[in-house]
């Protein structure tokens, strides 16, 4: 029997999660937060165990890690930026997009993004899965004026 799973979470807010760091992690890219000069580098991530070890090390030593360098992130099947028609063309650059989002919100508990986790049935081809997620994002976010 084909099943699916979906979970939506807020990025930002009072938990202090950066939408720039989240975007870098999700896409396996290196993005720099222009507000605090923190570079999030997930271009070479090995897996969650290494991330946990570095996070635990930073926590135990009391150090704030300003740059994350992981090796060989796997599992990214597809990523793209979807923009509403009124969005600036420069937002096709992920760094420009997310730094603009972070700069537009000044509140300490601003909700700067959403994380949508979707697991689709294995019976669908990767192309079908991408088409389903693209259609969902278009109808529920982009058509309502949000960048996806």
Work out the angle at residue 111's Cα, subtended by the Cα atoms of residues 141 and 42, and round it to the nearest 5 degrees: 85
The whole-angstrom separation of Cα 87 and Cα 90 is: 8
**pTM here?**
0.66
Domain ranges across the chain: 5-144
CA 139 → CA 24, 35, 124, 142, 143, distances in Å? Answer: 24, 32, 21, 6, 5
For residue 63, what is the DSSP state? P
Q: What's the pLDDT tens digit per position in 69-124?
A: 333 455 677 888 899 999 999 999 888 888 888 888 777 677 778 888 888 888 88
Top CATH class of 5-144 equals: alpha beta
């Amino acid at each position: 029997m084909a099943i699916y799973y979906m979970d939506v979470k807020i990025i930002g807010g009072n938990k202090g999660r950066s939408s720039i760091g989240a975007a870098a992690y999700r896409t396996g890219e290196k993005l720099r937060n222009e507000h605090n000069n923190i570079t999030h580098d997930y271009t070479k991530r090995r897996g969650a165990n290494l991330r946990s070890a570095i996070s635990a090390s930073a926590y135990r030593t009391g150090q704030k890690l300003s740059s994350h360098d992981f090796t060989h992130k796997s599992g990214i099947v597809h990523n793209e930026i979807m923009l509403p028609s009124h969005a600036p063309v420069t937002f096709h650059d992920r760094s420009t997009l997310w730094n603009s989002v972070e700069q537009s919100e000044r509140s300490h508990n601003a909700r700067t993004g959403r994380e949508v986790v979707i697991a689709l049935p294995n019976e669908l081809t990767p192309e079908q899965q991408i088409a389903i997620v693209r259609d969902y994002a278009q109808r529920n976010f982009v058509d309502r004026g949000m960048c996806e």
